[in-house]
């Protein structure tokens, strides 16, 4: 399954590389101060692990959702 | 003829040494020491009186939570509170770390109490295995806390790191059961898995959450002033808005602004920028450092803790001592671990630095980890060295270190098993080399995966020549012993044990002294293999040596294991007292050292069941057998499963459940068939089955099943004689007994049985005097171990014979166990029917009607009694005959000639 995480603020390339399995999609106007990460999530353990990793890098998750398909 | 008079009672066996008290785990490591100390406060500290007061008020109740994201100031607040001694009760500090397995967690909690000088009663014990602790340890801990005159506060910093649900469950249990002796303060990034709702409903919780931890404008102002910065009110507002009062963000702002020429401009720029706060600020702070410092911080981000020596190894320079001291002085998110040369990075900073390292220097990380591993190994930090090497994918080094340090046993016993096995969990299984093969084999062994273990050993053997180093060869022999045992291959076990023995002699004592588990586990493994092969003498020698070799911390597991096997060996030799003593010793060690129950204890309970069965204490036997087979799931070793079936069938036979007894035996027999077990196990099953057939009055079937197993064990011969006698072939039976070799090792149970058979044959032939003589011999043989069961099984004739000789009956009062007061437990109150309280005339009438299969109401009508009176009579009959059901009462009364 694929997931999308909406992170507060623009995430630099250095931090984005901590999530190599994810595509980083800067959100265009009108909300330029958010970053979208899209990518595969293997299972629940992976999902919760990701949330912990976002948190440990000081990244604030605003929203997450499973992508269709 | 085999002369019973020459049968001597077994030689007295010296009592086993008292199982040694496990001493507290030596936790002398300064890194560990730091986990028990209240963390140093930042030099720039904003006092937050309202929050400190809430903590003080919070510990008046059982639970206080301080929750917030990384860098929210949870630890700083709690450490401030603890270091100013604001707590009304003594406060014990423990920093929890990810990967603390439950056993290790509790060991650290106890250590934290001890270091703070808060004594717990010694009977609490201490955990010695990583995987977990048993419930009774938690009960003892809770009791120890409940008995304190005043409560103690336990601060568990970073409690969200405790991932294992068992830790949370255990903590909840202890908190609930410690009366008011324990107050918990938990800090964490996520809400703990404790059932918080219950605590909230009961008003037993104080929560300090992110909204409370947020810095206000006033807090920010104080913080920045301490940094030597005077910022306008508008600037402060911008900062608080942008950071949302995030303490770490504001601290980073302070550092960055101090380095910037125009702080107000920094504020405006920061407020306008949309980059993630942590990233923006950390980059700012990092970029403000000189290049050598930046380089050091980036490289050091691969480890949790930095030592100047380690940092120099990572940078290839020699300036770390100075740079680290300078950074710690400047409060750049680096703090010195008290009283040591080590430093610790703020976890958030470390994570972001780590991301930057990978971004700026791709490919460097494994190289750095390899260097760190070598430095750590060189300074004797084996577990950390192995973890770094594993993270670098340098499995050869990781495995080589573990084997080279003779630490292979630590994968199987001790507090580090969990951490080490997780480290090696991702190691590919096809790496060439002796060390990787041995580590794979040991890891697979821990999972009881024999095929994987064998494959690992095969790979190791390809690289292990005779001129390989002693430590590797000893490690090979060590794993070989345990693998041989798991494979039920006594020959392989013995070969490996012989190698191990030779190598143990060749190795220097100091190295072996650090790893007492190697010798102890080799001896215990060898002893158990001998036991499985039915060589009881040799098993006893090996296992006794294993017990003697255990005793130092780290050998609790082999000690328990050896004592339990020793108990079974003694049971099989008919030495019930020693068997019971060893089984209880093993359980005591398991209890005190809080070994998890799943792999231990089953054998101990089994032995206690066997002992109780021989004593004819069927209630205890059934209870112990349930403990042995019930909770633990399938018994790990097939010999145990077989022995459990033998004892189970014996109990079922005693309870009159003939079919149940046979089902148990047949199930065990077919489960064991493909395992190629030693002959004696098949014979044990056959004897148990013959016993069930005889109880059912089918001597033909009993003989058939015994004759299907060709065996010259004395137990077999005696069982066969019994079946022959029951089949009316008394002469054959006596001739069979005469064939028993006089010098063989024969258990006192078998000897007693043989004498009883001779007595029975004599009595049947009218030779009363001879019968009495044999009975006297049997009683004399059975007395030391109080073997009651064999008399009960022999049938009612024993009682008749004994009643003819009141002096003999009087001299052997032990045959009748002390009568239990009150109601006898259901289903298991069989007593030796030697002396039976006679039934009253009315009771006999009731029983006669019951024999006609009349219902209670019908009996009442027949005898002109009320149904309740009939019930009263039946109860009295059950009690006198020691039965629980009407059909049993009728059978028993018939057997006793009372009907």
The pLDDT assigned to B477 comes to 93
Task: Tell me how close the Cα of A16 comes to any Cα of chain B, in angstroms.
Answer: 8
Task: Tell me how close the Cα of B69 comes to any Cα of chain A, in angstroms.
Answer: 7
> Which residues of chain A lie closer than 8 angstroms to B351, CB-CB?
18, 56-58
Return the DSSP state at B275: B
Query: Would you state the structure tokens that stand for residue B206, as one six-digit string?
Result: 């104080």
Q: At what angle do helices B886-895 and B841-851 cross, to 10 degrees?
A: 110
Domain B393-551, CATH: 1.25.40
Q: Mark which residues 33-52 of A lie under 8 Å from B by CB.
A: 33, 35
Tally of residues, chain A: 69
CB atoms inside a 10 Å sphere around CB A45: 9
CA nearest B275 in A: which residue?
Answer: A10
Task: Tell me how close the Cα of B18 comes to any Cα of chain A, in angstroms.
Answer: 47
Return the DSSP state at B134: -
Q: Is A59 touching B (CB cutoff 8 A)?
A: yes
CB atoms inside a 10 Å sphere around CB B795: 16
Q: Do A17 and B355 touch (CB under 8 A)?
A: yes
Task: Tell me how close the Cα of A32 comes to any Cα of chain B, in angstroms.
Answer: 8
> Which residues of chain A lie closer than 8 angstroms to B345, CB-CB?
none
Q: Do B276 and A32 touch (CB under 8 A)?
A: no
Q: Mark which residues 169-198 of B lie under 8 Å from A by CB.
A: 189
d(CA B457, CA B409): 15
Interface probe, candidates B189, B244, B274, B286, chain A, greatest A C-beta count within 10 A: B274
The pLDDT assigned to B380 comes to 85
CB-based contacts of B394: which residues, under 8 Å, 6+ apart?
A: B366, B369, B370, B373
| Structural contact between residues B609 and B38, judged by C-beta atoms closer than 8 angstroms | no
| Structural contact between residues B71 and B278, judged by C-beta atoms closer than 8 angstroms | yes
CB atoms inside a 10 Å sphere around CB B636: 16
H/E stretch holding B478 reads helix B470-486
CA nearest B281 in A: which residue?
Answer: A58
Task: Tell me how close the Cα of A29 comes to any Cα of chain B, in angstroms.
Answer: 13
H/E stretch holding B67 reads strand B63-67
Q: Is A62 touching B (CB cutoff 8 A)?
A: no
Interface probe, candidates A15, A24, A29, chain B, greatest B C-beta count within 10 A: A15
The pLDDT assigned to B831 comes to 40
Q: Which CATH class is domain B841-895?
A: mainly alpha
d(CA B626, CA B774): 36
Return the DSSP state at B422: H
Q: Which CATH architecture has domain B241-384?
A: Orthogonal Bundle (1.10)
Task: Tell me how close the Cα of B420 comes to any Cα of chain A, in angstroms.
Answer: 21
Q: Do A58 and B283 touch (CB under 8 A)?
A: no
d(CA B80, CA B61): 20
Q: Give the CB-side neighbour count of residue B103, counting CA atoms within 13 A.
A: 24
C-alpha B374, offset from chain centre: 34
Tokens 């107050």 belong to residue: B183
The pLDDT assigned to B31 comes to 60
Q: Give the CB-side neighbour count of residue A31, counting CA atoms within 13 A.
A: 10
| Structural contact between residues B557 and B524, judged by C-beta atoms closer than 8 angstroms | no
C-alpha B239, offset from chain centre: 53
Q: Do B348 and A8 touch (CB under 8 A)?
A: no
A10-35 tens-digit pLDDT: 888 888 888 888 888 766 655 667 88
Among A9, A14, A58, the residue with its CB nearest the CB of B348 is A58
| Structural contact between residues B287 and B300, judged by C-beta atoms closer than 8 angstroms | no
Measured at the alpha carbon of residue A10, what is the angle toward residues A5 and A12, in degrees to the nearest 5?
Answer: 100
Q: Do A18 and B275 touch (CB under 8 A)?
A: no
Q: Do B248 and A58 touch (CB under 8 A)?
A: yes
Q: Do B276 and A9 touch (CB under 8 A)?
A: yes
The pLDDT assigned to B820 comes to 39
H/E stretch holding B494 reads helix B490-506
CB-based contacts of B479: which residues, under 8 Å, 6+ apart?
A: B408, B438, B441, B442, B445, B453, B456, B457, B460
Model-level ipTM above the cut of 0.85 = no
Q: Give the CB-side neighbour count of residue A59, counting CA atoms within 13 A.
A: 29
CA nearest A13 in B: which residue?
Answer: B359
d(CA B795, CA B637): 35
C-alpha B105, offset from chain centre: 14
Q: Do B274 and A9 touch (CB under 8 A)?
A: yes
Q: Mark which residues 547-566 of B lie under 8 Å from A by CB.
A: none
B270-309 tens-digit pLDDT: 888 878 888 888 888 888 889 999 999 999 999 988 999 9
> Which residues of chain B lie closer than 8 angstroms to A13, CB-CB?
359
A40-57 tens-digit pLDDT: 998 888 898 889 888 888
Q: Do A35 and B276 touch (CB under 8 A)?
A: yes
> Which residues of chain B lie closer than 8 angstroms to A14, CB-CB?
279, 283, 352, 355-356, 358-360
Kindly give the parts of chain B with pLDDT less than 70.
1-31, 128-132, 331-332, 594-600, 630-636, 743-744, 816-837, 897
d(CA B542, CA B530): 8
Domain B30-213, CATH: 3.40.50.300
Q: Give the CB-side neighbour count of residue B618, counting CA atoms within 13 A.
A: 24
Provide DSSP, B355-367.
Answer: HHHHHHSTTHHHH
Among B248, B351, B359, the residue with its CB nearest the CB of A56 is B351
Q: Is A60 touching B (CB cutoff 8 A)?
A: yes
Q: Which residues of B394-419 are buried (b: 16+ CB within 10 A; e: fewer)?
A: bbebbbbbbbbbbbbbbbbbbbbbbb
Task: Tell me how close the Cα of A62 comes to any Cα of chain B, in angstroms.
Answer: 12
Q: Do A57 and B356 touch (CB under 8 A)?
A: no
| Structural contact between residues B571 and B579, judged by C-beta atoms closer than 8 angstroms | yes
Q: Do A56 and B348 touch (CB under 8 A)?
A: yes
Q: At what angle do helices B658-672 and B638-654 cross, to 10 degrees?
A: 170
Tokens 């191990």 belong to residue: B500
Assign residue B853 a region (left: φ > 0; alpha: ψ between -120 and 50; beta: otherwise).
Answer: left
Closest of B109, B17, B18, B22 to residue B591, by C-alpha:
B22
The pLDDT assigned to B826 comes to 36
| Structural contact between residues B468 and B446, judged by C-beta atoms closer than 8 angstroms | no
> Which residues of chain A lie closer than 8 angstroms to B280, CB-CB?
9, 12
d(CA B801, CA B759): 9
| Structural contact between residues B718 and B778, judged by C-beta atoms closer than 8 angstroms | no
Q: Is A21 touching B (CB cutoff 8 A)?
A: no
């Amino acid at each position: 399954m694929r997931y999308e995480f909406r992170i507060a603020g623009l995430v630099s390339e250095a931090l984005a590389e901590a999530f190599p399995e994810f595509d980083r999609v800067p959100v265009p106007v009108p909300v330029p101060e958010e970053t979208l990460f899209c990518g595969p999530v293997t299972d629940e353990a992976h999902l919760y692990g990701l949330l912990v990793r976002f948190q440990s890098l000081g990244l604030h998750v605003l929203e997450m959702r499973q992508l269709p398909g | 003829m085999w002369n019973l008079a020459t049968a001597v009672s077994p030689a007295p066996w010296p009592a086993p040494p008292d199982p040694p008290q496990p001493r507290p785990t030596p936790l002398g490591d300064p890194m560990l020491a730091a986990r028990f100390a209240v963390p140093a406060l930042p030099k720039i500290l904003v006092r937050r009186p309202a929050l400190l007061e809430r903590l003080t008020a919070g510990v008046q109740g059982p639970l206080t939570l301080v929750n917030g994201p990384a860098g929210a100031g949870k630890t700083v607040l709690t450490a401030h509170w603890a270091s100013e001694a604001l707590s009304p009760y003594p406060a014990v500090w423990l920093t929890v770390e990810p990967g603390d397995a439950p056993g290790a967690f509790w060991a650290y909690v106890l250590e934290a109490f001890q270091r703070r000088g808060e004594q717990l009663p010694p009977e609490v014990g201490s955990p010695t295995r990583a995987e977990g602790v048993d419930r009774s340890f938690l009960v003892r801990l809770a009791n120890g806390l409940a008995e304190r005159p005043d409560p103690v506060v336990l601060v568990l910093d970073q409690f969200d790191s405790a991932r294992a649900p068992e830790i949370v469950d255990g903590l909840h249990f202890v908190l609930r059961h410690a009366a008011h002796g324990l107050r918990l303060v938990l800090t964490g990034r996520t809400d703990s898995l404790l059932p918080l709702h219950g605590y909230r409903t009961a008003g037993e919780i104080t929560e300090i959450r992110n909204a409370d931890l947020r810095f206000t404008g006033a807090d920010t102002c104080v913080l920045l002033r301490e940094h030597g910065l005077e910022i306008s009110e508008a600037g402060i507002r911008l900062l608080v808005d942008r950071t949302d009062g995030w303490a770490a963000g504001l601290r980073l702002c302070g550092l960055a602004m101090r380095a910037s020429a125009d702080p107000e401009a920094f504020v405006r720029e920061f407020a306008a920028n949309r980059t993630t706060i942590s990233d923006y600020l950390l980059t700012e702070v990092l970029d403000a450092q000189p290049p050598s410092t930046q380089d050091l911080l980036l490289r050091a981000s691969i480890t949790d803790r930095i030592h100047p020596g380690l940092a120099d190894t990572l940078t290839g320079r020699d300036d770390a001592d100075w740079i680290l001291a300078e950074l710690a002085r400047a409060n750049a998110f680096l703090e010195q671990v008290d009283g040591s040369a080590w430093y610790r990075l703020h976890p958030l900073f470390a994570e972001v630095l780590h991301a930057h390292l990978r971004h700026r220097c791709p490919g460097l990380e494994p190289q750095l980890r390899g260097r760190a591993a070598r430095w750590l190994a060189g300074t004797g930090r084996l577990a950390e060295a192995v973890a770094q090497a594993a993270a670098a994918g340098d499995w050869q080094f990781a495995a080589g270190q573990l084997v080279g340090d003779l630490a292979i046993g630590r994968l199987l016993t001790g507090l580090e098993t969990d951490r080490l096995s997780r480290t090696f969990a991702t190691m590919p299984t096809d790496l060439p080399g002796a060390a990787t093969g041995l580590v794979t084999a040991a890891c697979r062994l821990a999972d009881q995966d024999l095929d994987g273990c064998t494959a690992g050993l095969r790979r190791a053997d390809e690289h292990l020549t005779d001129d390989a180093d002693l430590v590797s060869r000893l490690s090979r022999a060590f794993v070989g012993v345990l693998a041989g045992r798991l494979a039920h291959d006594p020959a392989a076990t013995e070969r490996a044990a012989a190698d191990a023995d030779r190598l143990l002699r060749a190795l220097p004592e100091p190295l072996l002294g650090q790893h007492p588990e190697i010798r102890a586990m080799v001896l215990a493994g060898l002893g158990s293999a001998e036991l499985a092969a039915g060589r009881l003498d040799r098993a006893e020698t090996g296992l006794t040596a294993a017990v003697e070799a255990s005793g130092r911390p780290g050998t609790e597991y082999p000690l328990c294991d050896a004592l339990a096997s020793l108990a079974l060996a003694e049971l099989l030799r008919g030495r019930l007292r020693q068997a019971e003593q060893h089984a209880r010793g093993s359980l005591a060690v398991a209890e005190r050292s809080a070994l998890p129950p799943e792999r231990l204890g089953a054998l101990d309970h089994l032995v206690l069941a066997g002992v109780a069965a021989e004593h004819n204490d069927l209630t205890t036997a059934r209870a112990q057998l349930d403990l042995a087979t019930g909770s633990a799931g399938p018994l790990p070793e097939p010999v145990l499963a077989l022995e459990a079936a033998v004892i189970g069938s014996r109990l079922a036979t005693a309870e009159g459940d003939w079919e149940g007894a046979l089902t148990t035996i047949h199930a065990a027999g077919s489960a064991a068939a493909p395992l190629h077990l030693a002959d004696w196990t098949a014979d044990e099953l056959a004897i148990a089955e013959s016993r069930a057939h005889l109880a059912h009055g089918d001597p033909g079937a009993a003989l058939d099943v015994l004759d299907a197993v060709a065996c010259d064990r004395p137990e077999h011969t005696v069982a066969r004689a019994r079946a022959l006698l029951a089949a009316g072939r008394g002469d054959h039976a006596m001739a069979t007994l005469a064939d028993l070799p006089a010098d063989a090792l024969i258990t006192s149970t078998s000897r007693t049985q043989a004498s009883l058979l001779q007595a029975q044959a004599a009595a049947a032939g009218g030779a009363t005097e001879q019968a009495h003589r044999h009975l006297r011999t049997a009683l004399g043989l059975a007395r030391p171990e109080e073997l009651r069961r064999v008399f009960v099984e022999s049938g009612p004739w024993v009682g008749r014979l004994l009643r003819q000789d009141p002096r003999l009956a009087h001299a052997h009062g032990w045959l009748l166990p002390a009568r239990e007061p009150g109601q006898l437990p259901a289903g298991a109150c069989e007593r030796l029917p030697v002396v039976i309280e006679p039934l009253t005339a009315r009771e006999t009438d009731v029983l006669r009607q019951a024999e006609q299969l009349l219902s209670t109401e019908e009996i009442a009508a027949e005898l002109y009694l009320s149904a309740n009176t009939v019930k009263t009579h039946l109860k009295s009959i059950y009690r006198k005959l020691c039965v629980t059901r009407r059909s049993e009462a009728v059978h028993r009364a018939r057997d006793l000639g009372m009907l």
